[in-house]
Structure 1
Amino acid sequence: MNVLNENMTEADVENVLLCFPHQPDSCPRAHRFLALKVPMYFLMLASILMTVFGNLLVIITISHFKQLHSPTNLIVLSLALVDCLLGCLVMPFSMVRWLERCWFLGDVFCKIHSSLDMTLSIVSILHLSLVSIDRYLAICEPLSYRMRVTNGTVAVCIAFIWLFSLTFSFGVVLSEVNITGLENLLMLNSCGGNCALIFNKQWGVIAALVAFFIPGTIMSSLYLKIFHVARKQAKVMSERATVRRTSCEMNVQSSEQRERKAAKTLGIVMGIFLLCWLPFFIATIIDPFLDFSTPVDVFDALVWFGYLNSTFNPLVYGFFYPRFQSAFKIIISKYVLHLRNASHLDTL
């Protein structure tokens, strides 16, 4: 949101690159050394490709194998679709905006991009919460799980998540309630080629609560409960094995392995989620109270940390589960590498 400094000399002004050189009110373009710019483009393009193709692999895998058609995997399928759309429709434009510090596509598409960015990020986070609810019911209430959680129920929940996220995001951006009271600041810093989604104090808190802290609290609470129940079940089986050690020793070892794997997976899920999104939403809340003093590059970097959650989702929810690992190997070997010896692999 910065414009040319009034104290700059004429020579400095002449050396400044502008987003739109023929417009007197153009924003200054970012001046980055080529040795830094090229690696940044390479890394960001790599993360975009990983996001798109990683989630596309999850979509193809679940769609191809009927054995994976379950309520849980329907959520994972929808999550992969959301993250794939984020990689296709949002991340490439955000990459150019960050590295060039210019928006070349006009004000209308700026609002659409900002709305889609909010929508897909919120939908992705809410899907993660839905996965945690599904896992909680499956592990902590297994007797009623199959009756309460069906493909139809999950589809309704997914539709509600989409409807809520679209309404909230487009409503906030198009109504401009997020910049109420910031008119003078925006007027002073307005220039051609700027596209920044900022929040006033009230909506910075509201957006962070709706998009992160409430879903994150739900996820953390449920995963802690799941971990507690898993440990309790393993302890019960261990006590039973003490009485019948010879016949149950293998079951106890298997239970302990499952407990360790579950704890490891849940820890990775929450660790990646918090690492990717927590810094951004903390900055979203405190930046308005600091008169928007956070450097633009820092804020954009935090946005990309959040995007990386969509890059890691197919790794966490796919590669950590044996059935997905087998399915991925079949898909890659048969349809990507065209290996003959994989032609008979049609089921898991």
Structure 2
Amino acid sequence: MMDANNLKSDQQYCYLLENTSCLRRTRSRETYVILYICSSISLILTIFGNLLVVISVSHFRQLHTPSNFLVLSLAAADFLIGIFLMPPKIIQIIEDCWYFGDNFCYFHALLGFLLTTVSVSNLVFIAIDRYVAVCDPLLYGTKITIPLIQIGISSSWILSVLYAWAILFFKGHYLTRDDGFVCLGECVGFYTKVWGIVDLIVTFIFPCTVIICLYSKVFMVVRRHLKKINTVNQQIKTKEADQNKIPKKSERKAAKTLGIVIFVFLLFCVPFYLCAIMNAYTDVVVPDAIFNIFLWLAYFNSGMNPIIYALFYPWFQKSIKLIVTLKICSPESSIMNVCSVDH
């Protein structure tokens, strides 16, 4: 009897006036404060960090390069994740309830499919871009052009919209409220068996395989080129002959920086996908607390990219200063030099 009373004291209805609504677990006031402060910091970082990336690449003409346009597209997707996906998910995880209605639950799921697919496809394009830049530097300028990148980015967004629409239209992903027996205050989705496998391949197995294979090749080539550079430095006479065959320092640095972006993506998102696979296709049930932690890490990955850019890209550091000081409001600011030229 004592245990039952304790259980009741630790739980209450999501909607106090609706005794048919879901039960929510209550926490101490201190716990709520800590959770909301940490979540707010990560949310602010995601929204404003990616907004700075979008403004920087869009405004400064010097940053209008194929690689940076891919970074712009990725930042735009991460910005939308911070605006539309993270706030309601934060509240749902902390409060154990969904307070935004069934319609927004569907919209949230649709937008989740869309932005996840866009982000993953952008990372694949980034891996391809760095592969060509490092492994075939002489032809990079002719193979990877801004019009080609713009077509690729547009295709990524359009196909992602169609893919997200197809999943919901063909009932490949259904919400728990669909059956009419789930309590009010819940928004949880499940895949059908076929679409679960399709989505796993499209958004996880195939892109991760491509990314890992391409970047493995990139790092092997960079390592070989670094050895060649050391040899060239020792043999000054052959320096000019070999210099054109070696990617610029800026290309190697970009490969390293974007490689870190991809590595962080895999580090933060793979655990969530593995948990989802175990829940769907095995008898192992991942506890909700662990699943929510990995889900939050997957969302927080969107806020990590601006930190990486700030640490490794001098042009982003300078762009932030110009934006914060409002110097970008001057008519000539778009043609300002925000990055040094590598020799």
Does 2:279 correspond to 1:287? Answer: yes
Offset, 1:10:
8.0
Q: Distance in 1 between matches of 2:20 and 2:284?
A: 22
Which blocks of at least 5 consecutive residues in structure 2 are unaligned?
A: 339-343
Q: Distance in 2 between matches of 1:54 and 1:296?
A: 29
1:328 to 308, 320, 328: 320
SS for the counterpart of 1:146 is helix
1:225 to 211, 217, 234: 217
In the other structure, the counterpart of 1:3 is none
1:301 to 264, 288, 293: 293
- Please give the TM-score of this superposition, normalised by the length of structure 1: 0.83
Q: Distance in 1 between matches of 2:203 and 2:247?
A: 36
Distance of aligned partners of 1:44 and 1:148 in 2 relative to their CA distance in 1, 3 Å threshold: same
2:58 to 52, 60, 63: 63
In the other structure, the counterpart of 2:112 is 117
Contact conserved, 2:50 with 2:79, CA < 8 A, in 1?
yes
Q: Distance in 2 between matches of 1:229 and 1:290?
A: 40
Distance of aligned partners of 1:12 and 1:304 in 2 relative to their CA distance in 1, 3 Å threshold: closer
Q: Distance in 2 between matches of 1:149 and 1:255?
A: 15
State the one-letter code of the partner of 1:301.
Answer: I
In the other structure, the counterpart of 1:214 is 206
Q: Distance in 1 between matches of 2:109 and 2:265?
A: 22
Offset, 1:247:
7.8
Contact conserved, 2:15 with 2:21, CA < 8 A, in 1?
yes
Offset, 1:157:
0.9
Q: How does 1:168-179 map to 2 (within 5 A)?
A: 168-179=163-174
In the other structure, the counterpart of 1:135 is 130
Q: Distance in 2 between matches of 1:209 and 1:80?
A: 24
Contact conserved, 2:57 with 2:72, CA < 8 A, in 1?
yes
State the one-letter code of the partner of 2:142.
Answer: M
Does 2:182 correspond to 1:190? Answer: yes
Q: Distance in 2 between matches of 1:323 and 1:177?
A: 43
2:140 to 132, 141, 145: 145
Superposition RMSD in Å: 3.4
Q: Distance in 2 between matches of 1:76 and 1:14?
A: 49
CA deviation profile, 1:119-142 (whole Å, cap 9, x unmatched): 112211211111111111122122
In the other structure, the counterpart of 1:28 is 23
Q: How does 1:53-132 map to 2 (within 5 A)?
A: 53-132=48-127
Q: Distance in 1 between matches of 2:232 and 2:267?
A: 40
In the other structure, the counterpart of 1:347 is 337
Q: Distance in 2 between matches of 1:156 and 1:257?
A: 27
State the one-letter code of the partner of 1:191.
Answer: C
Offset, 1:174:
4.1
SS for the counterpart of 1:29 is strand
Large movers: runs of 4+ above 6 Å = 245-248, 254-260
Contact conserved, 1:287 with 1:294, CA < 8 A, in 2?
yes
Q: Distance in 1 between matches of 2:63 and 2:252?
A: 24
Offset, 1:188:
9.5
SS for the counterpart of 1:203 is helix
Contact conserved, 2:134 with 2:251, CA < 8 A, in 1?
no
Distance of aligned partners of 1:152 and 1:262 in 2 relative to their CA distance in 1, 3 Å threshold: closer
Offset, 1:262:
6.5
Contact conserved, 1:29 with 1:100, CA < 8 A, in 2?
yes
Which blocks of at least 5 consecutive residues in structure 1 are unaligned?
A: 1-7
CA deviation profile, 1:280-328 (whole Å, cap 9, x unmatched): 1111111123457322222222111111111111222454123223323
Offset, 1:335:
4.5
- Please give the TM-score of this superposition, normalised by the length of structure 2: 0.84
Contact conserved, 1:138 with 1:145, CA < 8 A, in 2?
yes
